[in-house]
Chains A and B, each alone.
Chain A
Amino acid sequence: MCNLIFGVYAPSAGQMQFAEEAWLPPSPAEALEQGIAMVHQHFSLVPRMTVVENLMLGQARGILNRQAFAARISDIADRFGFVLDPNAVVGELSVGERQRAEIVKCLMRDPQLLVLDEPTAVLPPSEIGALLDICRRVADSGRAVILVTHKLAEIAKVADKVAVLRTGRLVAQADMATADMGQLVQAMVGREVKPLDVALSDSKAGDEQDEGSAEARPGFALVCDGLTVQDRHGATRLDNFTLEVRPGEIVGLAGVEGNGQSELGMVLAGLLAPTEGRYFIGETELTHAGAAAVTAAGGGIVPEDRHAVACVTAMSVAENMYLNKLDRFTRFGLLQRRALNEAAEVQMKEFDVRAAGPDVAFSGLSGGNQQKAVLGRELTLDPLVALVAAQPTRGLDVSAVEAVYRQIRAAARRGVGVLLISSELDELIAVADRIAVLYRGRLVGERPAEMGERGAIGALMSGQLA
């Protein structure tokens, strides 16, 4: 949809109107020219250049006047109520700041319409509010804003009107003032789900009644003992991190993003050697053992960055679902492709991965189906002792979120120890048994996963009790 408005694709049928005229931009450049600007989900900034230099790339002609340009940037930032250092190097900025740079880039052209494609999917929660404020201010300045998002709460906070798209169809439309949230959610998922999404409802109790309590068993599934990671510049990203997860237990790790979760995830995945400390899955020490050994010891890993770490998007669904088990389908060095595809088909059914077939490209799947495939791959390890899932529901639609939670809970009931790393507190409260909080690389506290602890956990996350 965004691509149509922005002129990347042309519609096969139908027409658009913009500023009361028929609208069919031949190219993004033309769309920009006519006053439509778009912030893409993936930024187009050169990491090694400063903000000014990046923004000048698209717009400056002839002799470069850095100062004047920087002044314009600060001016725009001021006008819409945020701060952006024009001389900062983009690579050193946070995601939120980079996104602001992108927004400024759009605003410099003084567009009539600003399209934001899932801008909050990449943001830590602390920065989402600020982004929504910016949207509001841009809209108040007389421009139209289209905000594409999976999260209804954001819409509720900022939008005037809401339209719901599902599988390419417009299924609902409403004025925000009069909209019924329950109906919108239903329109989004296309079937009745438990009130809002699982993250917001405390459905744990229901689970336990139905299927028996997940009693923590003796012994440990995952042990982190004093893990410390220092980056290249000597900064401590993870500081003496010690945590034990018992079989059958779901431990939530809360924290605002950028407080050491990524480093912890990389260490546990076997992709980063800790500077100090050790860790075990079951009885096996894996501190310096590498990713293959983690898999062999029964460590299932759902990385936070799906595209960069979990899958090879240009390869097929089947290849991705068995990326770590290719040996099983190898005879005399040759890949038994038919057996691989058959196995993948079975597994796709089991984990509800919807795709045209096992040999379509992984990149053609929706984020939710990709994540279900990755989860399926990791949950079918034999043995499976521990599961480390980092931000497993980010960017997923509501029904995929539900499926991911269901799988994680089912794994725990089978006796797998789960470490769930997330920056969404509601998600952790809904799914985890207890919640540990990470702040500036340190474990600053631990609380039971109950709604009543929300405030206390929030305080820990923001470092107030540290």
Chain B
Amino acid sequence: MTALALRMPDRRRLMALSIPFAAVIGSMAIGLLLIAISGKSVPDAIEAFLDGAFGTAFAFGASINRAVSLALIGLGFILAARANLTNVGGEGQIAVGGIAATALALWPPIAGLPLGLAVILPLLAGTLAGAVWGGIAGVMKVRFGTNEVISTLLLGFVALLMVYWCVQSTALLRQPQTSSSTLPESLPIPDSTKLPGLTGDPESPLHIGLVLCLLLALATAVVLQRSTFGLRLRAIGLNELAARRAGMPGSLLLVVALGIAGGFGGLTGAIMLQGEQFYLKAGFSSGYGFDGLVVGLLSRGSTLGVLAGALFFGFLRSGGISMEIMAGVPSALTLVIQGLIVIAVAGSVILVEKLEGGAR
């Protein structure tokens, strides 16, 4: 499906595929070496990692859920990237999505709605909030020429602080303070607004967000490769002046592109809230926006690349957390290992690009 896979001769293709694998395995080996040096048991660490990533139905489901969040952010990123826009505001878009979804889910009339509306409306609210957040950056770009890297990033910080504000103030979303030990969190959302599970197994946290994510990935692939809208985004991204000359509504397309990217972020926030977390708290978005950005960057604009990268990082994150808790590997070291892997993958992607360039 990727352009890469179609164009290259078989041997090069094999090489192109094997390089990232080799890179991952190599960097993991270095990671294990680091663990050994730090004096922890390597087998314990590996066991903890595997347990945390795939070991139980719960672990597996949690990994997939993480991957869903990362994939959605990554999909939004590559859509905007098609128009040569770099959306680094995923974190903030998750945050506003979470706020909007929480607000709606906790609004009493919503919980009683039939036909799944109790689930759908908060999801839509989150998406809309994220789209507005991304759209603001788009408007700033076309109106004042503000670079979207800066505006989306800074709007992200604003959004994170808004989460604090919402959960600190009882006038907003903080749960009623019954004692001095009441945490600065929202009330849990009603059961009827939670995302339905995918399996009958109550142990598995796997929820319908996965299906949603796969559908959206398909839609993204179609938009990018088959639709006229996708072609217009590409034209705008490659040569804005020529696209405008050809009658395309340049400003509108840019705002819409960032709006869609933001919408994906907002939806991610709503899914994280309604699927797993169930109440809003400070630090709600916990880095998914930035990890999703990395997934988007490494995918080189390919939808399949986003899904693959998201799965990989989803398992990596779950396994890392488990390694930290079970095997006592310091969290800093886990981060170092993850960083190593990111660098290795990014480097191999560049290498593959070079190979591909040579094939032309």
Q: Give the interface of A toward B (CB within 8 A).
A: 269-271, 290-292, 294-296, 301, 303, 308-315, 319, 323-324, 326-327, 329-330, 333-335, 337
Contact = CB atoms under 8 A, between A and B. Distances in A.
Contact of B227 (A294, A310, A334): A334
Given A295-B247, A315-B234, A334-B222, A323 B242 contact: yes
Contact of B243 (A290, A303, A312): A312
Given A271-B241, A296-B247, A312-B243, 16 more contacts: A269-B245, A308-B239, A308-B241, A311-B242, A312-B239, A314-B238, A314-B239, A315-B234, A323-B246, A324-B245, A324-B247, A326-B228, A333-B229, A334-B222, A335-B230, A335-B231
Given A326-B232, A333-B227, A335-B227, A313 B249 contact: no
A324 B226 CA distance: 17
B242 A333 contact: no
A314 B241 CA distance: 14
By CB atoms of chain A within 10 A, which of B229, B230, B241, B248 has the most? B241
Contacts of A271: 241, 244-245
Contacts of A312: 234-235, 238-239, 242-243
A334 B227 CA distance: 4
A303 B246 CA distance: 11
Contact of B228 (A295, A301, A329): A329
Binding site of A, secondary structure by majority: helix, strand, loop or mixed?
Answer: mixed
Contacts of B222: 334
Interface in B135-189: none
20 contacts: A290-B247, A294-B247, A295-B246, A295-B247, A309-B241, A309-B242, A312-B242, A314-B239, A319-B235, A323-B243, A324-B245, A327-B228, A329-B228, A333-B227, A333-B228, A333-B229, A334-B227, A335-B230, A335-B231, A337-B226
By CB atoms of chain A within 10 A, which of B229, B235, B247 has the most? B247
Contact of A315 (B226, B235, B241, B248): B235
A412 B234 CA distance: 35
A263 B246 CA distance: 18
A386 to B, nearest CB: 16
8 closest cross-chain pairs (CB), A and B: A292-B247, A323-B246, A324-B246, A330-B228, A312-B239, A335-B228, A312-B238, A324-B247
A329 B244 CA distance: 19
Interface residues of B, number: 21
A269 B246 CA distance: 10
Contacts of A311: 239, 242
A270 to B, nearest CB: 8
Nearest to B231: A335
A323 B244 contact: no
A308 B244 CA distance: 11
Contact of B245 (A309, A319, A333): A309
B235 A301 contact: no
Given A314-B238, A319-B231, A291 B246 contact: yes
A312 B238 CA distance: 7
Contacts of A290: 247
A335 B235 CA distance: 14
B46 to A, nearest CB: 45
Contacts of A292: 247-249
Nearest to A324: B246
A209 B239 CA distance: 43
Given A292-B247, A330-B228, A333-B228, A310 B238 contact: no
Nearest to B239: A312
A346 B241 CA distance: 27
A291 B235 contact: no
A11 B234 CA distance: 35
B224 to A, nearest CB: 11
B241 A313 contact: no
A361 B247 CA distance: 21
Contacts of B241: 271, 308-309
B245 to A, nearest CB: 5
Contacts of A296: 247
Nearest to B236: A312
Contacts of A333: 227-229
A215 B222 CA distance: 51
A306 B255 CA distance: 27
Contacts of B226: 334-335, 337
